[in-house]
């Protein structure tokens, strides 16, 4: 099945492209509709572009409206993950409905609460968390990234391979201890990430006191399909009101607005920057809404098809295959 042409909000987006053949050099590109301008004469990579974001953004506007340079037909190119990030910071348990579902289910099964009591208690907990709590954030590996149309390769170990579609942002301005009210100044662009997880490798029976094993469960090769593009923040619309939709074999599994975030982007950025200095090219995933495979009792199998999109940021389509 041929890849559909991805679309984007605004007059242009950015990405990394190459020939459809496995060999051949990749290049940073400026996308305007169905055309891609090779940016190799400006920067060696999208990462380098983001590292000089404020200075180069006006030039990108000029290039988008000009016929100068080397242009390609988007349909003739392979779309790679748009950027090789520095840090990958990942926010967990950040969508209200998702977390309420999890907490309510535990209260019913473990504590014997009625469905009504369980949900009311969980809702109250989320109100307190949003008002007084802090985000939950962990690090991911850049080696897990693959392109938006690449195959997802299931690792040999584990059976409960799950999807988690997320809005991700790219840092364009360095900062440490960023105040909430200045946080959005540090966002260069947005993209789409599907943060896959092997659920049955998340907890280590041999090390119960330590808890979760995020490295093993989340960082297998190809477990972070990213892209297709970076859409500049000025074009993406309100990041607090974008639609996140994922289909598994044609069935809608996730369909939620980013309005459901417990901690919004300014609070996430302020929180992570209180621990680590953010640098241009860092990627921050903002959490996944309700509707993952664990919720439905369905996990990924070889031959499955995942189709995902976020408003204005384009779409992904990944076929699942076995490691063998």
Alpha-carbon Rg of the chain, whole angstroms? Answer: 20
Answer for the pair 119, 125: CB distance below 8 angstroms, yes or no: no
* Distance, CA of 289 to CA of 195 (rounded, Å): 12
| Residues 294-306, mean pLDDT to the nearest whole number | 96
* Distance, CA of 250 to CA of 298 (rounded, Å): 13
Q: What is the mean pLDDT of the chain?
A: 93
Cβ contacts of 253-259, under 8 Å, gap ≥ 24? 253/163, 253/291, 253/292, 253/293, 253/296, 253/298, 254/163, 254/165, 254/288, 254/289, 254/290, 254/291, 254/292, 255/291, 256/95, 256/97, 256/289, 256/290, 256/291, 258/167, 258/286
Which one is predicted more confidently, 72 or 104? Answer: 72
| Residues 294-322, mean pLDDT to the nearest whole number | 97
* Distance, CA of 259 to CA of 239 (rounded, Å): 9
Instruction: Name the band, by pLDDT with cuts 50, 70 and 90, for residue 248.
Output: very high
95-104, 114-123, 274-283 — most confident range: 274-283
Which one is predicted more confidently, 55 or 209? Answer: 55
The yes-or-no verdict on residue 110 having pLDDT over 80 is no
Percentage of residues in the chain with pLDDT exceeding 70?
98
Which range, of 5-14, 64-73, 273-282, 307-316, averages the lowest pLDDT? 5-14
The yes-or-no verdict on residue 2 having pLDDT over 80 is no
* Distance, CA of 14 to CA of 81 (rounded, Å): 11
Q: Give how far the C-alpha of residue 216 lies from the chain's centroid of Cα atoms, to the nearest Å.
A: 18
Residues 6+ apart with CB under 8 A from 249: 304, 305
Phi-psi region of 158 (alpha: psi -120 to 50; beta: other; left: phi over 0): left
Q: Which of 199, 261, 235, 217 is nearest to 313 (CA)?
A: 235
* Burial (CB count within 10 angstroms: exposed 0-12, middle 13-18, buried 19+), residue 192: buried
* Distance, CA of 38 to CA of 248 (rounded, Å): 34
Q: Give how far the C-alpha of residue 164 lies from the chain's centroid of Cα atoms, to the nearest Å.
A: 9
Q: Which of 56, 9, 49 is nearest to 33 (CA)?
A: 9
Total Cβ atoms within 10 A of residue 125: 16
The yes-or-no verdict on residue 122 having pLDDT over 50 is yes
Answer for the pair 31, 15: CB distance below 8 angstroms, yes or no: yes
| Residues 225-250, mean pLDDT to the nearest whole number | 97
The yes-or-no verdict on residue 226 having pLDDT over 50 is yes
Q: 162-181 burial, b if ≥16 CB within 10 A, otherwise e?
A: bbbbbbbbbbbbebeebeee
The yes-or-no verdict on residue 217 having pLDDT over 90 is yes
Instruction: Quickly list DSSP for 142-201.
Output: GGGEE-TTSPEEE-SS-S-EE--EEEEEEE-S-BSS--GGGGGGGEEEEEEEE--EEGGG
Instruction: Name the band, by pLDDT with cuts 50, 70 and 90, for residue 208.
Output: confident
Instruction: Name the band, by pLDDT with cuts 50, 70 and 90, for residue 1.
Output: very low
Specify the 3-state DSSP secondary structure of 103: helix
* pLDDT for the residue numbered 286: 98
* pLDDT for the residue numbered 4: 57
The yes-or-no verdict on residue 13 having pLDDT over 50 is yes
Joined together, the tokens standing for residue 135 give 């985000």
Convert the pLDDT of each residue in 261-270 to its tens digit.
999 999 999 9
| Residues 110-131, mean pLDDT to the nearest whole number | 83
* Burial (CB count within 10 angstroms: exposed 0-12, middle 13-18, buried 19+), residue 84: middle
Instruction: Name the band, by pLDDT with cuts 50, 70 and 90, for residue 3.
Output: low
Convert the pLDDT of each residue in 154-181 to its tens digit.
999 999 999 999 999 999 999 999 999 9
Q: Give how far the C-alpha of residue 6 lies from the chain's centroid of Cα atoms, to the nearest Å.
A: 16
* pLDDT for the residue numbered 104: 78
* pLDDT for the residue numbered 24: 80
């Amino acid at each position: 099945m041929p890849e559909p042409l991805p679309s984007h909000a605004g007059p242009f987006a950015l990405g990394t492209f190459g020939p459809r053949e496995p060999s051949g050099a990749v290049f940073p590109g400026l996308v305007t509709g169905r055309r891609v301008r090779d940016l190799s004469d400006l920067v060696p990579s999208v990462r380098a572009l983001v590292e000089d974001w404020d200075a180069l953004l006006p030039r990108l506007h000029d290039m988008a409206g000009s016929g100068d340079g080397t242009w390609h037909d988007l349909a003739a190119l392979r779309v790679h993950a748009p950027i090789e990030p520095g840090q990958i910071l990942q926010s967990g348990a950040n969508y209200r409905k998702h977390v309420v579902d999890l907490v309510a289910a535990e209260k019913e099964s473990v504590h014997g609460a009625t469905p009504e009591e369980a949900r009311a208690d969980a809702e109250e907990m989320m109100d307190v968390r949003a008002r007084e709590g802090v985000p939950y954030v962990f690090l991911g590996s850049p080696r897990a990234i693959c392109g938006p149309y690449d195959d997802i390769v299931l690792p040999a170990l584990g059976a409960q391979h799950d999807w988690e579609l997320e809005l991700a942002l790219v840092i364009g301005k360095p900062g440490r201890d960023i105040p909430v009210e200045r946080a959005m100044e540090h966002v260069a662009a947005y993209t789409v990430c599907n943060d896959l997880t092997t659920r049955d490798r998340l907890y280590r029976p041999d090390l119960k006191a330590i808890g979760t094993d995020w490295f093993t469960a989340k960082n297998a090769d190809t477990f972070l399909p990213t892209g297709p593009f970076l859409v500049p923040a000025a074009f993406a619309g309100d990041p607090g009101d974008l639609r996140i939709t994922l289909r598994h074999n044609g069935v809608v599994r996730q369909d939620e607005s980013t309005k459901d975030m417990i901690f919004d982007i300014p609070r996430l950025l302020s929180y992570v920057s209180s621990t680590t200095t953010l640098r241009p090219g860092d990627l921050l995933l903002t959490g996944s809404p309700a509707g993952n495979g664990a919720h439905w009792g369905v996990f990924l199998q070889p031959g499955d098809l995942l189709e995902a999109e976020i408003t204005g940021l384009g779409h992904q389509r990944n076929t699942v295959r076995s490691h063998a």
